[in-house]
Amino acid sequence: MALKRSQSSCNDVSILQFFDRTDIDKLFRAKMEYGQLFLFKSDNIYTILRPLTVLESETIASFVGRLHETVIEDWVFDRCLIISTVSKDYLFSKSKCFYIKNIVTKLYLLSNIQDIKEYNKQLLLERNKANSVQNLLETIIAKGYNSDHTTTKNMTQRKQFEVLAKAEKITGDLLQISNNKENNKKALRRFSEEAVVVGAEDITSPEVADKPDF
């Protein structure tokens, strides 16, 4: 069935109206690759960056005190920038003083868990996600074919079912799905309902307004 654009969706005000199709393609690709993106707004400039990876954060920490902080900030900003309503040259040469510094400082904090309580919350959240029917299906496929998570995610759902049946034969693990929702909940070993996202919601969350003053 063809997708239709509703009149209301066409009239909705969104920050995406400021980006062209090439930018939107970059946005979608970054979302699929990194899972979480952050939107920063300042002086009518919208800039979207991805989080730092663990390796990048560790590398940055190793250079603190050895390289000038502006060198590190520029490197982080350049590496994590996805799209902006102004050019990269403008951001580096014409944006207000401390514009890049402020964003990079907030980005680093959003990318890294700061205390043990947040570690526990994130772990509970991810355990809950991992025990959904869809993730159990993908786990069996990955185990049967010794493939990684990304390979399985890039399959269509129909292809996943086709491969799942074969993976079940290889592993001996059968995905049991009940029509009874309560039984499913028990089988999926649901964890704490109070688990929350660490740091902040990502750009695709309905709670998001302007970040990082969200």
Tens digit of each residue's pLDDT, the chain (214 residues): 343 333 333 344 477 788 888 999 999 999 999 989 999 998 889 999 999 999 999 999 999 999 999 999 999 999 999 999 999 999 999 998 899 999 999 999 999 887 788 778 878 887 887 778 888 888 999 999 998 878 888 898 889 999 999 999 999 988 877 665 555 455 444 333 433 333 334 444 444 434 443 3
Stated as kind and residue range, the H or E segment containing 200 is none
Q: Which of 16, 81, 90, 26 is nearest to 48 (CA)?
A: 81
The pTM (predicted TM-score) of the whole model is 0.67
Q: Taking Cα atoms as reference points, which of 167, 203, 155, 174 lies closest to residue 41?
A: 203
**In the chain, what are the domain boundaries?**
16-111, 116-187
pLDDT at position 183 is 52
Within the chain, residue ranges assigned H as helices are 7-11, 21-34, 54-63, 69-80, 88-93, 99-111, 116-130, 133-145, 149-153, 157-171, 181-187
Cβ contacts of 176 within 8 Å, gap of 6 or more: 187
Yes or no: say if 175 and 164 are a contact pair by the CB < 8 Å rule.
yes
The phi and psi torsions of 41 (rounded to 5 degrees) equal: -125, 130
pLDDT at 195: 33
By residue count, the chain amounts to 214
- Name residue 47's beta-bridge partners: 40, 84
Rounded to whole angstroms, the Cα distance separating 107 from 85 reads: 18
3-state class of 174 per DSSP? coil
Pairing type for strands 81-84 and 45-49 reads: antiparallel
pLDDT recorded at residue 26: 94
> So what's the architecture of 16-111 in CATH?
2-Layer Sandwich (3.30)
Confidence at residue 200, expressed as pLDDT on a 0 to 100 scale: 37
For 74, 108, 134, 180, 211, the CA distances from 77, given in Å and listed in that order, are 5, 10, 35, 49, 16
> Which pLDDT value is given to residue 182?
54
